Structure 1
Amino acid sequence: MVSRSELFRECQAALEAAGNPDARFDMMCIFQDCLGDRNPLFSPLEAVPTDAEALIRAMTERRISGEPLQYILGEWEFYGYPFKVGAGVLIPRPDTETLVDNVIQLCRGNGLTAPKIADLCAGSGCIAVTLKKELPLAEVSAVELSQEALPYLRQNVRLNEADVGIVAGDVLAESTAAALSGLDIVVSNPPYLTAQEMNDLQAEVRREPEMALDGGGDGLGFYRRLTPLWKRSLKSGGFICYEFGMGQHDKVGNILAENGFVNIKFTRDLGGIIRTVTAQKSEENNG
């Protein structure tokens, strides 16, 4: 049998040869998963069991082929909570934690102890589940259309023991919005990549569902349609919170302003990019 250090070096070299810039990180995640050890290289001379070696080699080959690490592992962390992921669902990203922070701060800053929240384009459920865990008295609904993503959403609600209502529906349909009225907060990380960005996607990102990425020609199609539709579901004084792509903040802000939203505030993500916006439905904006 091969030792941990020997197998690690061999697989890391194979990933590096395939052009993976994060080979060491990826292999550490794979070793931790397969060996059930958070520090697998603390025992470098320990022999790797035959079945674990076979699994590590197979997962390394999948990574070399360009399959996302998160899909290979089958689970990824978001805001400290575990989420099952795989083909057909968007991978939770750290940037989106900024959006969750926005909602939590809105609730705490406005005395919303039991807010009614709808997460649109919920995907894996990382936003909805996290909000329910962080705001236990909140009434949270997660809306998702994809038949591929819905099983992950349901699984993650169960995994995290979160009392989240799941709505299998189209966020762009009037009937869906009408069924979720009296909301304090609408939150969404909708598809926002432009046509050019879709054409230029890295091969690895192409493994993720197109419907969760493609925002139309300029990437703003969902914002233009969601904003006037879902403002009707918001209470007077309620909030809408969006994530968007780099450089889209001015246009997203304009869409919100054109629809009568006020107190439009932007937030930067951990990389310093303006990534999210919060806006309030004015008292007069009841249409």
Structure 2
Amino acid sequence: MMTSLMPSTPSAAAAADTPSAGHPATVELARRHAVEILTRAAVPSPDVDAELLLGHVLGLGRGAVQAAAITGRVLDAEERTVFAELVERRAAREPLQHITGRAAFRSMELAVGPGVFVPRPETESVVQFAIDALRAVPIPRPIGVDLGTGSGAIALAMATEVPNAAIYATENSVEAFIWARRNFAESGADNATVVFEHLADAFHELDGSVDVVISNPPYVPDDAIPRDPEVRLHDPSAALYGGPDGLDVVRQVSATAQRLLHRGGTLIIEHGELQGQAIRELLTADGWHAAATHRDLTTRDRTTIAIR
């Protein structure tokens, strides 16, 4: 009988690919296992989320995680356990950004978590209108205001990308304001100010002097149910729901912006894809000029702009 020349115990590589306590031991196997779990849970981007969660555990960027998967990096027991726990949380549809504590927005990474609306990619195109408008102002120190700043994403994008501008932001949720204040401090943008105040009462000292007002107000109608569990179960209701037609806060934004902006100033509002016509009509009735709605990268109506 021929005797096998293979050792009776697994090689290091084979042992590394053997699940331990149900958790795969290499980066690649852990990634594959996580993708399977997240796919079954109907998470929209299971491969991306698996790699970002691995990166969070390992302190690596996504590209470095992909490299570690190719080179066969082994996860230690603690890394496997922590990663498995994070995958379970994501499979339960807890937002990825709540799990990692960070949200990417344009060139920034913001601190986020329970109590604050997680900034969305579509808002990046909305804030571009404000950035362009501020850059076009023919004075050395244009003024921009963000009404209902949430995490501070919009205000800080304006402040960091138009550093000669003076940016003011207001937020009236205690939980969201805590996150905003942290992000303003971390940004180092000394041209940005955030205050705890209702947007209807904000910045009377700036009346008639502001060049650009922008807002991403709550605009979901009260009886609508957001489709995504991440939104429905985790985003604060105060950041989502805007009254019976979803436009109660938009009406407040219109009134405050009329007070703040000088003649010729620009108002920019983010809204739902079916609300463009209603908002144009609302703004026109309020005395705004040239109200126009613009689509986002998915060709959905997303932004309405008007002139004071």
Counterpart in the other structure of 1:137: 164
Counterpart in the other structure of 1:50: 77
> Structure 1 residue 265: deviation in Å?
2.7
C-alpha separation between the residues in 2 aligned to 1:18 and 1:239?
43
How do 1:33-48 and structure 2 match up within 5 A? Answer: 33-38=56-61, 39-44=64-69, 45-48=72-75
Deviates more, 1:49-58 or 1:269-278: 49-58
Counterpart in the other structure of 2:259: 232
C-alpha distance after superposition, 1:5-40 (max 9, x if no partner):
121222222222223242111101111221123332
Letter in 2 for 1:107: L
For the pair shown, the structure with the greater C-alpha radius of gyration is 2
TM-score (norm 1): 0.91
C-alpha distance after superposition, 1:135-186 (max 9, x if no partner):
111111110001111111011112221121111011133xx25244221111
Q: SS at 2:223's partner residue?
A: helix
Runs of 5+ unmatched residues, structure 2: 1-15, 17-24
Identity %: 31
1:203 aligns with 2:229: yes
Counterpart in the other structure of 1:3: 26
Specify which of 197, 203, 210 is matched with residue 169 of structure 1.
197
Q: SS at 2:174's partner residue?
A: coil
Deviates more, 1:36-45 or 1:267-276: 36-45
Change (3 A) 1:113 1:94: farther
Counterpart in the other structure of 1:194: 221
CA contact (8 A) 1:113 1:135 kept: no
CA contact (8 A) 2:135 2:162 kept: no
Deviates more, 1:101-110 or 1:145-154: 101-110
Counterpart in the other structure of 1:63: 90
C-alpha separation between the residues in 2 aligned to 1:41 and 1:78?
22
Change (3 A) 1:210 1:183: same
C-alpha separation between the residues in 2 aligned to 1:113 and 1:266?
29
C-alpha distance after superposition, 1:56-96 (max 9, x if no partner):
11111111122011111110111111111101111111111
Q: SS at 1:237's partner residue?
A: strand
Letter in 1 for 2:231: V
Q: SS at 1:67's partner residue?
A: coil
Q: SS at 1:204's partner residue?
A: helix
Q: SS at 1:149's partner residue?
A: helix
C-alpha distance after superposition, 1:38-67 (max 9, x if no partner):
332323321112222222111111111220
> Structure 1 residue 106: deviation in Å?
1.6
Specify which of 148, 155, 176 is matched with residue 121 of structure 1.
148
CA contact (8 A) 1:195 1:216 kept: yes
Q: SS at 2:211's partner residue?
A: strand
Deviates more, 1:32-41 or 1:140-149: 32-41
CA contact (8 A) 2:218 2:249 kept: yes
Letter in 2 for 1:29: L
> Structure 1 residue 113: deviation in Å?
4.2
CA contact (8 A) 2:292 2:306 kept: yes
Letter in 2 for 1:239: T
C-alpha separation between the residues in 1 aligned to 2:296 and 2:110?
21
C-alpha separation between the residues in 2 aligned to 1:63 and 1:186?
36
How do 1:232-251 and structure 2 match up within 5 A? Answer: 232-251=259-278
List structure 1 segments (4+ residues) > 6 angstroms apart after TM superposition: none
Runs of 5+ unmatched residues, structure 1: 282-287
1:31 aligns with 2:54: yes
How do 1:84-163 and structure 2 match up within 5 A? Answer: 84-163=111-190
Deviates more, 1:111-120 or 1:80-89: 111-120
Deviates more, 1:41-50 or 1:154-163: 41-50
C-alpha separation between the residues in 1 aligned to 2:88 and 2:127?
35
CA contact (8 A) 1:107 1:113 kept: no
Instruction: Say what the alpha-carbon RMSD is for the aligned residues.
Output: 1.6
CA contact (8 A) 1:187 1:241 kept: yes
